[in-house]
Structure 1
């Protein structure tokens, strides 16, 4: 178990793979910890230097009082990468993790040489929508929003699986101030202008059944980056790496190879 003091908080992370391997960073979604990637890691090529982490307010990282800014989340990630000596990485971000990817790429091109923007957008939802959800959680905890969230996250067949209940419980175990803190960061973020200025290899991944960031929204963001590739994963919602791990891993592997890994 690895932790690092990053400014005023301590982040939980995992750094695996050979020190001279291709650097890859994974940033997970709101309401999950870095176990989000567990199913795909064994399916990826060998020789990757992989950094996963729990952003502030999630998993085993510190959960300071809400609200958080997107700038703080980006700065946390930047400082963690500096701490472990990782640069020139392929950054895979899902949902809020994809927003962090966009912001970090605009800020520190020495850290990010390619991005995978999974189930994310330059702007997600409206301030009023997020304020309503934050108010609901402040009043009634995460249990007050868990069922509609699960409906947006997962395809209907996945709800009937045993695994579904573990993801539901992971969401419920998120510190409420961590969820509302990061929700506030999403609420205040509009990266349309800065993302349209990015000039780096990019892949956008969408799930056909995603109720949080529908495919049209994901691919609209991809259209801001010249030459960005797109991939639609069918029979998957907001977390296609969970519902369709083989296809997700194959998509990532193809992109990694296009960036020179294993060439």
Structure 2
């Protein structure tokens, strides 16, 4: 029986002086799909439906970037260094050509990595993310979510308040907490503070001609929630308009965690995109 997100052993590889923790799912042949996670997220914050379903017919690699979870090193306070760390990890595994799935902060990394040549990137999926100079409300939204004292902060943080969305939110949290053994520790301020600085810095860095987006030549699938309060959907439209080969999908009644609210739909869209 092949490994799942809930059962795959945590492995380690040294790269650039950092010991990276990762898990492999799926087949050993095909272009690997590398997952890059959101603000403070670890390997165990991914949705098992998304990870396991995408691993049904391709290699999937999930990892903790520097300083996060069970990985060593120190979390950088800028996107460029985070992207360099991710490139070092991918090269250390000898993955060759890869596809990238970047969610939120991970989407910033995917944009940087696609535009340069340290790793051979075939296609990218950008979920709930923003371009350089994009609109962000990270601290305001996070503070508001914590003020609601929900059983899990992701319920108000990633999902709108509608009954249908909150039902999907509870189902996601249940799936994402199944793994008990060898589970990543939750992130503390040594992760959240530099990651927040990197997000705020990325969005504060103006790119009026969208040169960073125009430098991305790979096919891109942009997926966003209709009511993403952290990175409003105008970000997705700006990326779509300024990338040469991008497709844009916006899911209804959904927020920052749209890919976890509609996991089966998201997987179907990603598979169609990657297989085309």
| TM-score bucket (shorter structure) | 0.7 to 0.9
Tell me by how many angstroms 1:16 deviates.
Answer: 2.5
Which residue of structure 2 lines up, in the alignment, with residue 58 of structure 1?
68
Q: Distance in 2 between matches of 1:153 and 1:16?
A: 25
| Counterpart secondary structure, 2:256 | coil
Q: TM-score, normalised by structure 1?
A: 0.81
Tell me by how many angstroms 1:101 deviates.
Answer: 0.2
Q: Determine which of 86, 93, 115 is the counterpart of 2:95.
A: 86
Over aligned residue pairs, what C-alpha RMSD do you find? Answer: 3.2
Give aligned pairs, total: 248
C-alpha change, 1:250 and 1:10, in structure 2 (3 Å) is: same
Q: Distance in 1 between matches of 2:17 and 2:54?
A: 34
Q: Determine which of 17, 38, 41 is the counterpart of 2:26.
A: 17
**Does structure 1 residue 44 correspond to structure 2 residue 49?**
no
**Does structure 1 residue 3 correspond to structure 2 residue 8?**
no
Query: Residues 3-44 of structure 1: CA distance to partner in whole angstroms, max 9, x if unpaired?
Result: 222324322111233332222111111122223142213333
Q: Determine which of 183, 192, 199 is the counterpart of 1:186.
A: 199
C-alpha change, 1:80 and 1:229, in structure 2 (3 Å) is: same
Contact (CA 8 Å) 1:57, 1:179: kept in 2 or not? Answer: no
Tell me by how many angstroms 1:152 deviates.
Answer: 4.2
Which residue of structure 1 lines up, in the alignment, with residue 249 of structure 2?
231
C-alpha change, 1:71 and 1:109, in structure 2 (3 Å) is: closer
Tell me by how many angstroms 1:109 deviates.
Answer: 6.6
C-alpha change, 1:245 and 1:173, in structure 2 (3 Å) is: same
Q: Distance in 2 between matches of 1:5 and 1:45?
A: 24
Q: Distance in 1 between matches of 2:71 and 2:146?
A: 21
Q: Distance in 2 between matches of 1:145 and 1:4?
A: 39
Note the residue ranges of structure 1 that are not aligned, 5 or more in a row: 137-141, 259-263
C-alpha change, 1:39 and 1:146, in structure 2 (3 Å) is: farther
Which residue of structure 2 lines up, in the alignment, with residue 257 of structure 1?
275
Tell me by how many angstroms 1:110 deviates.
Answer: 4.6
C-alpha change, 1:109 and 1:225, in structure 2 (3 Å) is: farther
Tell me by how many angstroms 1:132 deviates.
Answer: 7.9
| Structure with more of its chain in helix, by fraction | 1
